[in-house]
Structure 1
Amino acid sequence: MLKERTAVVVEDDHDIGDVISSLLDQAGFDVAVARTGTEALDLIRERKPDLVTLDLSLPDIDGVEVCRQIRVVSDCYVIVISARTSEVDRLIGLEVGADDYLVKPFSMRELQARVAALFRRPRTSDLVSPSTAAATAQAAEAVALAVVDPATDPATGEAYPPTHPLGCDDLTLRPGAREVLVSGAEIDLTRTEFDLLAHLVRNPGVVVAREDLMRAVWATEFVPDSTHVVDVHLANLRRKLRKAASGNEWIRTIRGVGFRYDPCCS
Structure 2
Amino acid sequence: MSRRLLIFPAAVCASGLLLSGCAVNESERPEQRPSLSPEEVTPVETPDSAPPVVVVDTSPGGAKDNDPLWQGLEKAAADGEEAYLNVYLRTFNDVADSGEVSLTPDMPNSVTVNVDAEQVSAHEGSFYQVLGTFEVEQLGDSAFTLTTVNGDEIAELNPQGPDSQARCTADDAQDRIELAASDLAKDPDQREDMRLRWAAAPEVWWGIQQTALSLRDSDGDFAGDFLGEACGPYRDGAGSGDDGGSGDGSGAGDGSGSDDDVTSNEDSEQSELGG
Classify the TM-score, shorter chain: under 0.3
TM-score by length of 2: 0.23
TM-score by length of 1: 0.23
Which structure has more RCO (C-alpha within 8 Å, separation ≥ 6)? 2
